[in-house]
Amino acid sequence: MVGHKPIQNTDAELPDRQGFAHFMLKEIYEQPEVVRRCLAAYLKPDWDGQDASVLSTPFNLALPEQVSANVAEIQIVACGTSRHAGLVAQYWLEQLAGIPTRVRSASEFVSGPFPLRANTLTIAVTQSGETADTLAAIAVAKRRSPSDASLQSWSLGITNQPESSLSKAVDYIFPTLAGVEIGVAATKTFLSQLVVFCCLALEFALRRRALSVQDAMPLIGALRSLPDQIETLLNQQHEPIQMLAKIIADTKDCIVLGRGINHAIALEGALKLKETTYLHAEGYASGEFMHGPIALLDATVSVIAIAPAGTVYASMLANARKVKANRAPLIGITNASTQADHAMFDHLLTVPATDERLSPLLTVIPLQLLAYAIAVQRSFDVDRPRNITKTLLT
């Protein structure tokens, strides 16, 4: 049994597994500390919402008021797991802050950039800050900046390597403070990207008055609770996930379903499964899955349904029922306490309750643990999966 271990700060961290069998597991267990560190850097501890000024927000984000007041559109460019962080962020930026946001794989953006609009903020997300496609995308975005000074544009980098090439290419940089990540599969850096994006979306939402202080307070409280909740989740789910991994290690295919903000987590869970276990895994928006891909199902295909309490819960359960009718082994990830609903799941992984809009920060963790446990079960080199490197420099 491996429990939570304290970690060293950022670059002082030693390349040592500190008692964990693999770096990936160590990095998954570092997540409570990483979230604590990010919140300590970006969220003011004593903000109580009493100052009504639009410039008073709970966040320490060095972004000029001119940007938050004028930004009309956001374009996010990134690859792989970082792109999935962008997809979660798209939901927050649009639904909380009301800013139209588009996300594109950096490699696709280069050949087909979004039509240029005035007052666009381009955000490049990259753990390493060196991914060639992401650097090329930000270069294209900057080259296309409007020559008319009244049509402003800005660039922001979100990276775990603030000294990287990315920082020289953008106007502003937000470090994700996750510490060194050695496992090729991104885990703690993904979670830290989400925390930074969430703070940014709430900052925009408050400054632009898209969200009232009263409505923001519960979300800020929920953010503050996250580190302890992640610790609880890791302690409670470690053993059940080990057992589940043994049961499904030989599954032929794995489908991960999510709706709304957890669609991106379905994509991320499937990516973690693919790159560490070499299983064929796909993430789908669960409503869309019913329009064709459901034909794939039989007793050899495992399905994971991400079903947090809230607006998507009933429709996720309705989709899960159809999956079950096709004999597919069904695994649920939920924080809902409605026991009667859970009977349909062959295996249930519970995560702590939180606001649905913050649920991706918790629902991704059982998927990381499951990918890790299946990879170990299948005796693969978890930290160095075949065919890929930590950073794609070309």
Where on the chain is the footprint of ligand M6R (CB under 6 A)?
Answer: 79-82, 126-128, 131, 134, 184-186, 271, 275, 391-392
**CB of residue 327 to ligand M6R, shortest distance in Å:** 31
How far is the CA of 281 from the CAs of 112, 163, 253, 363, in angstroms?
28, 35, 6, 17
Do the Cβ atoms of 297 and 319 come closer than 8 Å?
Answer: no
- 10 Å Cβ neighbour count for 21? 13
The residue (of 101 and 131) whose beta carbon lies closer to ligand M6R is 131
**CB of residue 118 to ligand M6R, shortest distance in Å:** 28
The residue (of 86 and 258) whose beta carbon lies closer to ligand M6R is 86
Distance CA 332, CA 294 (A): 17
Do the Cβ atoms of 78 and 125 come closer than 8 Å?
Answer: yes
Residue 186 tokens, joined: 């991104």
List strands edge to edge, sheet with 330-334. 280-285, 253-258, 301-306, 330-334, 347-350
Question: Any idea which residue has 């930074």 for tokens?
Answer: 196
The neighbouring-strand residues paired with 388 are none
**CB of residue 162 to ligand M6R, shortest distance in Å:** 13
**CB of residue 186 to ligand M6R, shortest distance in Å:** 4
Distance CA 363, CA 261 (A): 11
Whose CB is nearest to ligand M6R? 80
The residue (of 130 and 355) whose beta carbon lies closer to ligand M6R is 130
**CB of residue 385 to ligand M6R, shortest distance in Å:** 8
The residue (of 273 and 301) whose beta carbon lies closer to ligand M6R is 273
Task: Tell me 118's DSSP state.
Answer: T
Distance CA 358, CA 259 (A): 14
**CB of residue 310 to ligand M6R, shortest distance in Å:** 27
Task: Tell me 59's DSSP state.
Answer: B
**CB of residue 274 to ligand M6R, shortest distance in Å:** 9
Q: 3-class DSSP state for residue 339?
A: helix
The residue (of 89 and 219) whose beta carbon lies closer to ligand M6R is 89
**CB of residue 137 to ligand M6R, shortest distance in Å:** 11
The residue (of 159 and 229) whose beta carbon lies closer to ligand M6R is 159
The residue (of 125 and 202) whose beta carbon lies closer to ligand M6R is 125
333 closest CA partner among 288, 269, 253: 269
The residue (of 185 and 365) whose beta carbon lies closer to ligand M6R is 185
The residue (of 78 and 323) whose beta carbon lies closer to ligand M6R is 78
**CB of residue 382 to ligand M6R, shortest distance in Å:** 12
Cα 206 to the center of its chain, rounded Å: 22
State the greatest distance between any 2 C-alpha atoms of the chain, in Å, as a whole number: 61
The residue (of 56 and 391) whose beta carbon lies closer to ligand M6R is 391
Distance CA 352, CA 310 (A): 14
The number of helix segments (H) and strand segments (E) in the chain equals: 13, 10
Residue 278 tokens, joined: 């070499």
Angle between helices 188-207 and 31-42 (to 10 degrees): 30
